[in-house]
Chains A and B, each alone.
Chain A
């Protein structure tokens, strides 16, 4: 096992030494995506940000609980988001309130 790690390390070192490696470092999630405070904001952030930054939420047109229920269901059913039923209810209520229909 250790030998394998050494071998891999050497290989990586050889790659960069030969100038064949190209790498970049991405910035952290931008504060633009910070969720509006409110009941359920924390669980929403914790669950949704597992897979994507929360600017995905912030940028959307506002909508009622029905809109957000559709979104949360899609995330669970299509993308396999690790969200249980209680959490899903909390998230939908939060989004429908914090990102509700335009007034």
Chain B
């Protein structure tokens, strides 16, 4: 009890009373066939469409699969994931500053206007995905956010290169890592603040790491990081710090909670271990694995026999780009290529489409898998690790033909 300032504690408790007193019950009927999503309500948050609730406080919302029939995920359908509460709900651009501090020659306090006009604007389409996307599907099950498959999205970002910002500040020779902190601050000082770090080499050699202030042609929604967030293409979303406010250059490997022990994978080539076992050594999670999904039709749909239907979905990887996407209707005995949509860049979702007709009445399972440009693909057997990261098993839908 001593760790909590009493007045703050009482205020918070009063707030919780109000939180618990109300609430609406609404069924997510569209997800009723999915064991992980069954019973989870659709909820409406500010600047957001109806999304699938994971948690209320801090807010975590996932995108329904139907939005992944296209390459660009609309801002209002984009998933939300915060780590600590309270989350920022009000930003005044008259006072908001992006501070650049630590081992720099010149500390910077950039207004949004200065960020927009003081550096070349870079335009980049890139997908982000929560490290624990699809964690709910792990077997044996693992603790943590029980996401279905909707903790991912793809947007066109505009922003300033991080290396340009850091060059303006001037890195001191002793600089080793750069840390990133957002406006979300835990109410209790004992709760570790959400701070992430990247190696200086990673950010200075990669012109695609940007501080984005525009998302699909609009300001970022508050819950997706208004007014600016970090974009680390190809890497899991844990690094894409939202509501960014503080960049600090440090002379050591930063290892506070959300870098260690948080967000780590087994130090093995697959980032996995035998199901149910513990890794002997871990490293920070970084690059995304190859994934692909069928968004249309929805799993469980009824289709007519011998009548062609359109299959649509997306594929993505950790930044090499998708080479092709294949589907199978015979349990993976044979695969055929799908038609790829426009190439929006190596970090973006790649839209795919195909036509398929059910050869006979009954249930049919349709599989999808993607290959990236260095030949990485997806496996029939899911990988496993205790934190529930990196999932990229071959996905499927079941349709009923009659």
Contact B56 A27, beta carbon cutoff 8 Å: yes
Of the listed stretches B222-230, B314-322, B393-401, name the one at the interface; the rest are far from the partner chain. Answer: B222-230
Partner of A49, one of B3, B16, B143, B186: B16
Contact B3 A55, beta carbon cutoff 8 Å: no
Residues facing A in B31-67 (CB within 8 A) are 39-41, 43-47, 53-59
Tell me the minimal C-beta distance from B181 to chain A in angstroms. 18
In the complex, B205 has a CB within 8 A of chain A = no
Q: Which chain B residues border A86 with CB–CB below 8 Å?
A: none
Q: Which chain A residues border B18 with CB–CB below 8 Å?
A: 28
CB-nearest residue of chain B relative to A83? B1
Q: Which chain B residues border A21 with CB–CB below 8 Å?
A: 90-94
In the complex, B254 has a CB within 8 A of chain A = no
Contact A28 B12, beta carbon cutoff 8 Å: no
Contact B41 A30, beta carbon cutoff 8 Å: yes
Of the listed stretches B187-195, B303-311, B330-338, B354-362, name the one at the interface; the rest are far from the partner chain. Answer: B187-195
Q: Which chain A residues border B226 with CB–CB below 8 Å?
A: 22
Residues facing A in B54-89 (CB within 8 A) are 54-59, 85, 87, 89
| Complex alpha-carbon distance, A101 and B163, angstroms | 50
In the complex, B119 has a CB within 8 A of chain A = no
B149-165 interface code vs A (CB 8 A; 1 in, 0 out): 00000000000000000
In the complex, B117 has a CB within 8 A of chain A = no
Partner of B57, one of A46, A52, A78, A82: A52
Q: Which chain B residues border A39 with CB–CB below 8 Å?
A: none
B1-37 interface code vs A (CB 8 A; 1 in, 0 out): 1011000010011001011111111000000000000
| Complex alpha-carbon distance, A60 and B36, angstroms | 10
| Complex alpha-carbon distance, A52 and B46, angstroms | 19
Tell me the minimal C-beta distance from B186 to chain A in angstroms. 8
Contact A25 B46, beta carbon cutoff 8 Å: yes
Contact A67 B143, beta carbon cutoff 8 Å: yes
Q: Which chain A residues border B222 with CB–CB below 8 Å?
A: 22-24
21 contacts between A and B (CB under 8 A): A20-B93, A22-B91, A24-B45, A24-B90, A28-B20, A29-B56, A30-B53, A31-B25, A32-B25, A49-B19, A49-B20, A52-B57, A52-B58, A53-B19, A53-B57, A55-B55, A55-B56, A61-B142, A67-B143, A81-B190, A82-B3
